[in-house]
């Protein structure tokens, strides 16, 4: 029968309870004085370990699971009011409480770290060499989960979370918050900042990334190019970044109010920016100018005044692409390109110069 081990603090003691099917069968009070390490070991069953705030205990809690093919052990660790750090990877986890105790976890496939007691808490989640999958701010909560083919780690309510793919064909799915979010990305790496900086997710070495917006007031995405030859195809509601040479889309940004893309890597390659109009018969505006020898382009969706469009009407913006191309399927749309080298621009459909 699977056991649940619950460790908490009461006065000058640690309190260890062992439960089966939500029934507590035994309770042990362990004096903190002189205690440097407490080891908890599981069995061949699907055991669970829960560690609550242990106060100023200064030792080590060592949890050792036993994983076999048919069962999965789990651990839940809760933080203290200090600035705590949760580090989880395949087969090992460590939760260091500020100026206090540390909880280590070995051979447990489901690891959960919680940070809702205060302080500035950080988490570091790492994948393995396989195909890992990451989800952040999933189901409307401040949470990051990384799945490693049956093994997973989770960080909930942390102020800052760094997530590492570590090889394989890894995928990240980034969801937005109800506030005004900022998403920044380049090849494989990126950052999602929300709640005026109170929530921050940083991801590294993820080969495919999808970022979702639309739940907040005004969500913004910023893309910076890499050494690859890249194409950014922008449509209302969906912007994709493609590696031209491998014909692979590696970044998708959905439902952002404003997407800014820049191609400032001086690698001698031709990066392409493609700006599409909406799927309805609106009259849009593509404005382009030269900025320090590079094309700066702005795309306005159905502006009220084509000669004085508003920032809130701009949905795409780009800088530094060798080719900037406008697509008008429901035109004629408007373009304002005075002073721009025509060789740096391309057009599809009907466009009226203003």
Provide the token pair at 63: 């949890």
Domain shared by 229 and 349, yes or no: yes
Q: What is the pLDDT of residues 4-14, one digit of tens each?
A: 999 999 999 99
Question: Last residue of some domain: 198, 217, 236?
Answer: 217
**pLDDT, position 1:** 66
The whole-number average pLDDT for the span 64-77 is: 88
Strand partners, 344: none
Domain shared by 96 and 57, yes or no: yes
Q: What is the pLDDT of residues 196-212, one digit of tens each?
A: 888 999 999 999 999 99
* DSSP per residue, 204-225: ES-SEEEEE--SSSS-EEEEE-
Domain shared by 224 and 353, yes or no: yes
Among all chains, which residue has been given the structure tokens 């920044």?
Answer: 184
Domain shared by 204 and 329, yes or no: no
Residue 139 pLDDT more than 80? Answer: yes
Containing structural domain, residue 160: 121-217
Q: How far apart are CA 16 and CA 20, in angstroms?
A: 14
Reported as half-sphere exposure (CB side, CA atoms, 13 A), residue 324 has a value of: 27
Domain shared by 56 and 105, yes or no: yes
> How many domains does the structure of the chain reveal?
3
Domain shared by 224 and 205, yes or no: no
Confidence at 115, pLDDT banded by 50, 70, 90 = very high
Domain shared by 228 and 343, yes or no: yes
Question: Last residue of some domain: 94, 116, 138?
Answer: 116
Question: Last residue of some domain: 176, 194, 217?
Answer: 217
Reported as half-sphere exposure (CB side, CA atoms, 13 A), residue 126 has a value of: 13
> Would you call 78 exposed, middle or buried from its count of C-beta atoms within 10 A (0-12, 13-18, 19+)?
buried
For the stretch 100-103, contacts whose Cβ atoms lie closer than 8 Å and that sit 24 or more positions apart, written own/partner, are 100/54, 100/55, 100/56, 100/57, 100/58, 101/54, 101/57, 101/58, 101/59, 101/60, 101/61, 102/60, 102/61, 103/51, 103/60, 103/61, 103/63, 103/77
Strand, helix or coil for residue 55: coil
Lowest pLDDT segment from 28-37, 76-85, 182-191, 280-289? 280-289
The whole-number average pLDDT for the span 281-287 is: 93
Contact (Cβ atoms closer than 8 angstroms) between residue 65 and residue 20: no
Q: How far apart are CA 253 and CA 59, in angstroms?
A: 45
The whole-number average pLDDT for the span 175-181 is: 93
């Amino acid at each position: 029968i699977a056991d649940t081990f619950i460790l908490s603090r009461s006065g000058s003691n640690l309190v260890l309870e062992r439960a089966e099917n939500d029934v507590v069968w035994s309770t042990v009070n362990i004096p903190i004085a002189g205690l440097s390490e407490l080891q908890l070991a599981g069995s061949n069953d699907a055991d669970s370990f829960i560690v609550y705030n242990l106060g100023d205990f200064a030792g080590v809690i060592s949890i050792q699971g036993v994983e076999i093919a048919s069962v999965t052990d789990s651990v839940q660790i809760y933080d203290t009011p200090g600035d705590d750090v949760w580090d989880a990877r395949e087969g090992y986890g460590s939760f260091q409480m500020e100026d206090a105790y540390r909880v280590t976890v070995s051979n447990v496939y489901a690891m959960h770290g919680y940070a809702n007691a205060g302080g500035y808490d950080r988490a570091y989640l790492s994948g393995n060499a396989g195909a890992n999958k990451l989800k952040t701010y999933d189901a409307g909560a401040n949470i990051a989960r990384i799945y490693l083919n049956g093994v997973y780690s989770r960080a909930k309510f942390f102020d800052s979370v760094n997530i590492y793919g570590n090889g394989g064909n890894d995928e990240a799915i980034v969801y937005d918050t109800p506030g005004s979010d900022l998403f920044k990305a380049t090849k494989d790496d990126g950052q999602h900042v929300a709640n005026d900086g109170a929530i921050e997710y940083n991801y590294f070495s993820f080969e495919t990334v999808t970022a979702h917006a639309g739940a907040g007031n005004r969500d913004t995405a910023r893309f910076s190019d890499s050494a690859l030859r890249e194409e950014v195809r922008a449509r209302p509601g969906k912007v994709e970044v493609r590696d031209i040479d491998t014909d692979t889309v590696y970044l998708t940004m959905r439902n952002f109010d404003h997407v800014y893309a820049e191609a400032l890597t001086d690698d001698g390659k031709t990066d392409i920016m493609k700006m599409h109009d909406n799927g309805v018969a609106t009259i849009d505006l593509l404005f382009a100018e030269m900025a320090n020898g590079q094309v700066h382009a702005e795309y306005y969706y159905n502006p009220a005044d084509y000669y004085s469009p508003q920032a809130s009407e701009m949905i795409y913006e780009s800088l530094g692409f060798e080719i900037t191309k406008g697509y008008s399927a429901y035109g004629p749309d408007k373009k304002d390109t005075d002073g721009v080298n025509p060789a740096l621009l391309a057009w599809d459909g009907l466009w009226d110069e203003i």
